[in-house]
Amino acid sequence: MAQIKVNLFANLRRFNPGGPEAGEFPLEVEEGSTLSDLFRELGVPKEEVKIVFVNNLRRQKDYVLQEGDRVGIFPPVAGG
Amino acid sequence: MKKWLRVDMSALEVRQEQPAEKYAGKGGRWLTSQFINEEVDPGCHPLGENNKLIFAPGFVTGTSAPSSGRISAGGKSPLTGGIKESNAGTPFAQSLARLGYQALILEGLPADKEQRYVLRVNSEGGELISAPELKGLGMYDTITRLREQYGDVDICGTGPAGEMKMAMAGICYNDPEYRASRYSGRGGLGATMGSKGVKAIVIERDGPGVEMADSDLFKIGQRKLAEALRNHDVTKPGGALNSFGTAVLINILNQAGGLPFRNFRSGVFDEAEAIAGETIADEVKKRGGEGMMGHSCSPGCVIRCSNVWPRKDGTEHVSCIEYESDWSLGANLDIDDLDAIAEMIYICNDLGLDTIEAGVTLGVAMEGGLAEFGDSEKAIDLLREVGRGTPLGRIIGNGAGLTGKALGVTRVPVVKNQGMPAYEPRSVKGIGVTYITSTMGADHTAGYTIAPEILSVGGESDPLDPQGKVELSRDFQATTAFVDSSGYCLFITFALLDSESGFEGMLETVNGVLGTSYTGDDVLDIGKKILKMERKFNEAAGLTRADDRIPEFMRREKLPPHDRVFEITDDELDQLWDF
> How far is CA B408 from its chain centroid?
29
State the Cα–Cα distance between residues B489 and B93, nearest whole angstrom. Answer: 12
Q: B129: which strand partners? A: B118
B271 → chain A, closest CA residue? A23
Cβ contacts of A71 on chain B, cutoff 8 Å: none
| Same domain, residue pair B429 and B408 | no
The domains located in chain A, with CATH, are 2-74 (3.10.20.30)
Strands, sheet with B125-130, edge to edge from the N-terminal-most edge strand: B125-130, B117-122, B198-204, B153-157, B171-174, B180-184
pLDDT for B338 beyond 80 = yes
| Same domain, residue pair B412 and B431 | no
Nearest to A73 by CA among A15, A4, A9: A9
pLDDT at A80: 85
The amino acid sitting at B332 is N
Cβ contacts of B455 on chain A, cutoff 8 Å: 50-51, 76-78
State the Cα–Cα distance between residues B59 and B76, nearest whole angstrom. Answer: 23
C-alpha dihedral sign at B408, B412, B418, B422: negative
pLDDT at B172: 98
Cβ contacts of B456 on chain A, cutoff 8 Å: 50-51, 76
Whether B91 maps to a domain, the answer reads yes
A71 → chain B, closest CA residue? B255
| Same domain, residue pair B332 and B190 | no
Asked if B390 has any chain A CB less than 8 Å from its own CB, the reply is: no
| Same domain, residue pair B298 and B272 | yes
For the segment B26-32, the average pLDDT, to the nearest whole number, is 98
pLDDT for B547 beyond 80 = yes
pLDDT for B206 beyond 90 = no
| Same domain, residue pair B379 and B491 | no
Strands, sheet with B292-295, edge to edge from the N-terminal-most edge strand: B292-295, B306-310, B316-318
- Angle subtended at Cα B401 by Cα B396 and Cα B402, rounded to the nearest 5 degrees: 50
pLDDT tens per residue across span B225-251: 999 999 999 999 999 999 999 999 999
Number of folded domains in chain B?
A: 3
A58 → chain B, closest CA residue? B256
CATH code for the domain in which residue B398 is found: 1.10.569.10
State the Cα–Cα distance between residues B155 and B147, nearest whole angstrom. Answer: 9
Confidence of residue B190 (pLDDT cuts 50, 70, 90): very high
Asked if B233 has any chain A CB less than 8 Å from its own CB, the reply is: yes
State the Cα–Cα distance between residues B37 and B85, nearest whole angstrom. Answer: 12
A6 → chain B, closest CA residue? B255
Nearest to B489 by CA among B75, B65, B27, B74: B65
* Partner residue facing B248 (CB), from A7, A55, A79: A79
Other C-beta atoms within 10 Å of B11: how many? 12
CATH code for the domain in which residue B59 is found: 3.60.9.10
Q: How far does the CA of residue B281 sit from the closest CA of chain A (Å)?
A: 10
Asked if B235 has any chain A CB less than 8 Å from its own CB, the reply is: yes
Confidence of residue B1 (pLDDT cuts 50, 70, 90): confident
pLDDT at B267: 98
Instruction: Report CA Rg, chain B.
Output: 22
pLDDT at B411: 98
Cβ contacts of B255 on chain A, cutoff 8 Å: 53, 56, 72, 74
| Same domain, residue pair B326 and B441 | no
pLDDT for B212 beyond 90 = yes
Cβ contacts of A72 on chain B, cutoff 8 Å: 251-252, 255
Query: What is the domain range of residue B381?
Result: 242-424
* Partner residue facing A79 (CB), from B323, B463, B562: B323
B561 contacts A23? CB cut-off 8 A: no
| Same domain, residue pair B295 and B358 | yes
Asked if B293 has any chain A CB less than 8 Å from its own CB, the reply is: no
Whether B77 maps to a domain, the answer reads yes
For the segment A42-64, the average pLDDT, to the nearest whole number, is 97
A78 contacts B249? CB cut-off 8 A: yes
Confidence of residue B530 (pLDDT cuts 50, 70, 90): very high
* Partner residue facing A78 (CB), from B240, B462, B562: B240
Q: How far does the CA of residue A32 sit from the closest CA of chain B (Å)?
A: 23
| Same domain, residue pair B144 and B74 | yes
Instruction: Share the mean pLDDT of chain B.
Output: 97
SS3 category, B158: coil
Instruction: Report CA Rg, chain A.
Output: 12
| Same domain, residue pair B560 and B540 | yes
* Partner residue facing A80 (CB), from B233, B277, B490: B490
* Partner residue facing A79 (CB), from B246, B463, B561: B246
Query: Contact B337/B309 with Cβ under 8 angstroms?
Result: no
pLDDT tens per residue across span B64-104: 999 999 999 999 999 999 999 999 999 999 999 999 999 99
What are residue A28's phi and psi, to 5 degrees? Answer: -105, 125
Whether B209 maps to a domain, the answer reads no
Whether B231 maps to a domain, the answer reads no
State the Cα–Cα distance between residues B3 and B100, nearest whole angstrom. Answer: 6
Q: How far does the CA of residue B505 sit from the closest CA of chain A (Å)?
A: 21
pLDDT for B526 beyond 90 = yes
The amino acid sitting at B424 is E
| Same domain, residue pair B105 and B125 | yes
Query: Contact B284/B275 with Cβ under 8 angstroms?
Result: no
A55 dihedral zone (left: phi>0; alpha: psi -120 to 50; beta): left
Cβ contacts of A75 on chain B, cutoff 8 Å: 233, 240
Alpha-carbon distance values, B198 to B81, B120, B134 (Å): 21, 11, 10
pLDDT tens per residue across span B255-276: 999 999 999 999 999 999 999 9
Asked if B245 has any chain A CB less than 8 Å from its own CB, the reply is: yes
Boundary of a domain, candidates B424, B450, B467: B424
Whether B512 maps to a domain, the answer reads no
For the segment B463-489, the average pLDDT, to the nearest whole number, is 98
Confidence of residue A55 (pLDDT cuts 50, 70, 90): very high
pLDDT for B554 beyond 90 = yes
Asked if B246 has any chain A CB less than 8 Å from its own CB, the reply is: yes
Question: What residues 434-493 of chain B have any CB closer than 8 A to a CB of chain A?
Answer: 444-445, 448, 451, 454-457, 462-464, 490-491
pLDDT at B19: 98
A80 contacts B444? CB cut-off 8 A: yes
B240 contacts A77? CB cut-off 8 A: yes
Asked if B323 has any chain A CB less than 8 Å from its own CB, the reply is: yes
Cβ contacts of B448 on chain A, cutoff 8 Å: 80
Whether B226 maps to a domain, the answer reads no
pLDDT for B186 beyond 80 = yes
Query: Contact B150/B121 with Cβ under 8 angstroms?
Result: no
Q: How far does the CA of residue B277 sit from the closest CA of chain A (Å)?
A: 8
Side-chain half-sphere of B373: how many Cα atoms within 13 Å? 17
Boundary of a domain, candidates B403, B424, B445: B424
Alpha-carbon distance values, B81 to B8, B159, B296, B348, B542 (Å): 23, 21, 33, 23, 8
| Same domain, residue pair B562 and B452 | yes
Alpha-carbon distance values, B133 to B68, B115, B146, B555 (Å): 34, 10, 11, 50
Alpha-carbon distance values, B260 to A71, B265, B469 (Å): 20, 7, 20
> How far is CA B27 from its chain centroid?
17
B305 contacts A74? CB cut-off 8 A: no
Other C-beta atoms within 10 Å of B34: how many? 22
C-alpha dihedral sign at B507, B510, B514, B515: positive
pLDDT at B455: 96
State the Cα–Cα distance between residues B417 and B407, nearest whole angstrom. Answer: 15
| Same domain, residue pair B418 and B449 | no
B233 contacts A50? CB cut-off 8 A: yes
A50 contacts B456? CB cut-off 8 A: yes
State the Cα–Cα distance between residues B219 and B247, nearest whole angstrom. Answer: 33
The per-residue DSSP string of B385-436 comes to HHHHT-HHHHHHTTHHHHHHHHHT-----EETTEEP-SS-TTTSHHHHHHHH
State the Cα–Cα distance between residues B79 and B191, nearest whole angstrom. Answer: 9
B239 dihedral zone (left: phi>0; alpha: psi -120 to 50; beta): beta
CATH code for the domain in which residue B467 is found: 1.10.599.10
Whether B212 maps to a domain, the answer reads no
Q: How far does the CA of residue A28 sit from the closest CA of chain B (Å)?
A: 21
First to last CA, chain B: 35
What are residue A55's phi and psi, to 5 degrees? Answer: 50, 45
- As a whole-number percent, the residues of chain B with pLDDT over 90 amount to 99
State the Cα–Cα distance between residues B306 and B245, nearest whole angstrom. Answer: 6
Whether B46 maps to a domain, the answer reads yes
Boundary of a domain, candidates B396, B424, B452: B424
